[in-house]
Structure 1
Amino acid sequence: MAPKFFSLLVVTFSILLASSSIKASFAGWQAISNLTDPKVVEIGKFAVKEHNKRVNALLRFESIVKGETQIVNGINYRLIISATDALAANAESYYRVVVWDKPWKKERRLISFEKLLH
C-alpha cells in the first residue's frame, strides 16, 4: 500500500510542478536571447517612432540593450533601448519601453517610454 501511495504522491507532485512552470512561463517575463532579431528591432524602432509622434521629439533608435517578453492577450515587449537625441547634440541615452503587440490582428501599442538615468 505504501509504495502505491508514494508513487501517486510523486506523480501528483510532478504534475503540479509542471503546471506551475507552464503557468509561470505564460505569466512572467522571459529574457529575449537574440536582441538583434529583426522582430525585436522592429518593436524598438516602433517605440521610438511612436514616442517621437506623441511628444514631438527627435530621437533616433540605435540598438536594443536588453529585452524581455511576456505572453498576455498578445505579447508585451519590455526593452531597454539606446537612442540618440538630435535636440541634445545627438546625446545617447537609454530608455525603458513597453510595447504590446498582437501580430495576428496587426495591432501594436506603445504602453510606456521612460528615460533611464545613468
Structure 2
Amino acid sequence: MTFNFNSLLLVTLSTVVVASILGHVFATNDDRKLLDSFEHVLNSLAPSPSRGGWQPIDDTEDPKVVDVAEFTVSAENSIVKHREIEFLRVEDGKSRVDNNGITYQLDILATKFSELNEYSVVVFENSKDHVRKLISWD
C-alpha cells in the first residue's frame, strides 16, 4: 500500500512539474510573440530610412496630386456644409512616404463665394487600401 501511495505521489508531482515547465515555456513564447508584434507596430510607424523625409512635389499638375487636392476640397465641403469651396490648382506641395502610406502637404488655390483663397492642407493616403484622410485644413 505504501508503494502504491509513493508511486501515485511521484507520478502526481512529476505531472505538476512537467505542466509547470510547459506552462512557463508557452507563456514565455506568447510574451515574445506579443513583444514581436508590438515592435512590428512601432517599426511600421517609423519612417523608412530608405524612403527619407519630405520630398518636394515637382509637378503640381500631376493627375495624382490634383486628385488628392480635389479630395481635400470635397472633404472640407462635406464637413462644413455652408461653404462652397471650388478647387482651382495646386500652388506648391511636398510628400512623405512611410511604411503606412503617403502624407501630402499641399498649398492649394481655391475660391470660396467667388473670393480667391490659398489653403494649406495635409492629407494621408493609406498605401494598402488607398483610403484618404484629411488631416488638416488651414
| Equivalence for 1:32 | 57
RMSD between superposed Cα atoms in Å: 1.5
Q: Equivalent residue of 1:67, what SS?
A: strand
2:112 is the counterpart of 1:85: yes
What CA distance in whole angstroms lies between the structure 2 residues aligned with 1:29 and 1:107?
20
What CA distance in whole angstroms lies between the structure 1 residues aligned with 2:80 and 2:52?
32
Identity %: 36
What CA distance in whole angstroms lies between the structure 2 residues aligned with 1:27 and 1:55?
35
Structure 2 segments unaligned to the other structure (5+ residues): 1-47
What CA distance in whole angstroms lies between the structure 1 residues aligned with 2:64 and 2:117?
22
**Deviation by residue 1:36-67 (Cα, 9 ceiling, x = unmatched):** 00000000000000001111110000000001
2:71 is the counterpart of 1:46: yes
In the superposition, the TM-score normalised over structure 2's length comes to: 0.61
| Equivalence for 1:8 | none
Structure 1 segments unaligned to the other structure (5+ residues): 1-21
Q: How many residues align?
A: 89
Q: Equivalent residue of 1:26, what SS?
A: coil
When you count strand as a share of all residues, which structure comes out higher? 1
Q: Equivalent residue of 2:74, what SS?
A: helix
| Equivalence for 2:17 | none
| Equivalence for 1:76 | 103
| Residue pairs, 1:10-29, within 5 angstroms | 23=49, 26-29=51-54
What CA distance in whole angstroms lies between the structure 1 residues aligned with 2:92 and 2:73?
15
**Bigger radius of gyration among the two:** 2
| Residue pairs, 1:99-110, within 5 angstroms | 99-110=123-134
Runs ≥4 residues deviating over 2 A: none
What CA distance in whole angstroms lies between the structure 2 residues aligned with 1:63 and 1:27?
27
What CA distance in whole angstroms lies between the structure 2 residues aligned with 1:55 and 1:96?
17
